[in-house]
Amino acid sequence: MKRIAFAVAAFAIAAAAHAAPPSEASIRELMDTTGARANMAASLQNLAKALPQILRMRAETMVRNNPKLNEDQRKAEMANVERRMPIITAALQKDMNDPKMVDELYNQVVPLYARHFTQEDVKALTAFYRSPAGKKSLEVMPVLMGESAQAAQKIMQERAKRIVEQTK
Amino acid sequence: MKKIVVALIASFALVQGAFAADAAPVPAAANAAAVRELLEAMNYRAMWKASMDQMAKVMPGMMRQDIEATIKADTRLNDAQRREALLNMEADLPKMADVVHGVLADPGLMSEMEGEMITLYSRFFTADELKQIAAYYRTPVGTKSMQLMPQIMAESMAISQRVTIPRIRKAMEQFQRK
């Protein structure tokens, strides 16, 4: 009986060791390997660029659709939006360029990886992304994803058009 | 109304800017086989089908929203006409959803997309690199990371929203005050 209990315990320990949660250092190493910091900074930059346009459009639509304004008031409000744009653009730029923001993101992504991957997984992932093929796929992936989304869009648009023409 | 369907399908892929119109070189036969192998290792068909199913599921709701907004904003309609237009839209919606579903579930669409992927991957990778990446996706960790990808993407998206939205809100408040 004791022997069985021992065997069970040993097995449990082995299984636990196999599924050991990854250390924070190893996750950070993986993230450094995949260039996560640069990617995060870049996407924050994109956000900082896109947001003012979106806000401007929204503000302009609000002014245009406001039935209480007459033509002069509308013009004045539009000018007002225009005048305030540089302020918000600068504020967003400053926020999104803040290195603390990237740190914050980084710190929150670490537990995400820890939740999904074992120590062994993290090691294998790091090894792949350090190999030439892994490095190259990291480099190429953003372009590839963008272009494949474009291709998908184009194909679907053509098909949708064809169907609409058929059902006319 | 059908125009809206086309626009929605097109916008769903969420791509800005015009299509790159560069003529893609015809891939070498060796590469086509290597890309197919990679796509298979990535379980591409299943992923494609899952994302098309997802799209077919959310499209009717998006179409309703869009058309509703158009009808409500149409100043030429009086209240009775508006009500009638909305009822008509409700009646037409299942038919439109069928059309969308037909477009998305068509196996021809998937093979057309596969052809695009072959051209695309061949432009970026050699056959040898494709083989190595396919081999990685066949390892346990490669398979696992591929399976987890949608979930990890969604979780990272949630994290970045959690971090960025309070700051964006603050900047907007500033904007409105001045």
User: Would the pLDDT of A96 be above 90?
Assistant: no
**pTM for the full model?**
0.71
User: Would the pLDDT of A15 be above 60?
Assistant: no
Q: Choose the closest CB to B163 out of A104, A121, A136.
A: A104
Per residue in B8-26, pLDDT (tens digit) is 555 554 443 334 444 555 6
Residue B121's closest CA among B58, B174, B42, B11? B42
- Whether residue B80 contacts residue A148, with contact meaning beta carbons closer than 8 Å, is answered with no
Domain boundaries of chain A, sorted by first residue: 2-130
Residues in chain B with CB shorter than 8 Å from the CB of A52 are none
| B114-148: b (≥16 Cβ within 10 Å) or e | bebbbbbbbbbbebebbbbbbebbeeebbebbbee
- Whether residue A44 contacts residue A96, with contact meaning beta carbons closer than 8 Å, is answered with yes
Q: Choose the closest CB to B175 out of A40, A88, A121.
A: A88
Residue B55: helix, strand or coil by DSSP? helix
| ipTM confidence | 0.70
Question: What is the rounded (10 degree) CA torsion for B95, B101, B104, B106?
Answer: -100
CA angle B11, B12, B16 (to 5 degrees): 50
- Whether residue B96 contacts residue B60, with contact meaning beta carbons closer than 8 Å, is answered with yes
Q: What pLDDT does residue B140 have?
A: 95
User: Do the Cβ atoms of A112 and B171 come within 8 Å?
Assistant: no
Task: Place A87 in a pLDDT band, splitting at 50, 70 and 90.
Answer: confident
Residue B32's closest CA among B127, B111, B108? B127
Interface residue of B49, B95, B120, B147 to substitute, partner A, most A CBs within 10 Å: B120
Averaged pLDDT, B107-135: 93
Q: What pLDDT does residue B17 have?
A: 38
Shortest Cα distance, chain A CAs vs residue B168, angstroms: 7
Phi, psi (deg, nearest 5) at residue B75: -75, -10
